[in-house]
Chain A
Amino acid sequence: AQSVTQLDSQVPVFEEAPVELRCNYSSSVSVYLFWYVQYPNQGLQLLLKYLSGSTLVKGINGFEAEFNKSQTSFHLRKPSVHISDTAEYFCAVLAQGGSEKLVFGKGTKLTVNP
């Protein structure tokens, strides 16, 4: 079975500051990794994904994430945030070659203040 831990439930930052949202996972098999963003009363939008290859992946809206297998982490970063980045961010894993079930963390609420 897989599990995902998002270490911070809330992250407040000022506009134009850098931000890192932390994600650790646990799995007995290899996984694919995802970050999704959810704006209020909306569904989830895929920000980026790691399937294989380079451990640094770039996504939409200037976000990037780095896969660290030894630390079983997949932290999300952005060098300079905007007010419009205020949203809930979810890390998720999918077991390779097995279940179709995406397993999500509990989410991190990012609030960007002026």
Chain B
Amino acid sequence: DTGVSQDPRHKITKRGQNVTFRCDPISEHNRLYWYRQTLGQGPEFLTYFQNEAQLEKSRLLSDRFSAERPKGSFSTLEIQRTEQGDSAMYLCASSPGTRRKGNYGYTFGSGTRLTVV
């Protein structure tokens, strides 16, 4: 169990550029989540996948944001035409899919800190 890995750890980009982040979940976890955390706030839900299917999206996920999990393993989050308001920590988490076992509690990665200048 190597935990949830996120890459890159830090990204500085100019306003208007596109950025892509990657998340590798714990291998046996089939649920994957993206959250955004701005300074002084708790994490806010963006979207979640079960295997390769994107099952829930927040209204926070504007048209400039797209997330994929093509083979049900790693996931990418792309932000197009970045704005200064996109500056935040982007957190990925994963969890097992078997709720019957009461196996709740996500495992979070260390996050990608995005700064838009």
Residues of B within 8 A of A (CB): 4, 6, 31, 33, 35, 40-45, 48, 55-56, 58, 91, 93, 102, 104-111, 113
Contacts and interface: CB of A to CB of B under 8 A. Distances in A.
Contact of A106 (B33, B41, B104, B106): B41
B45 A102 contact: yes
Contacts of A106: 40-42
Given A49-B105, A101-B58, A90 B31 contact: no
B94 to A, nearest CB: 11
Interface residues of A, number: 25
Contacts of A105: 42
A100 B113 contact: no
Interface of A: 4, 32, 34, 36, 41-46, 49, 51-52, 90, 92, 94, 99-107
Contacts of B43: 44, 90, 102, 104
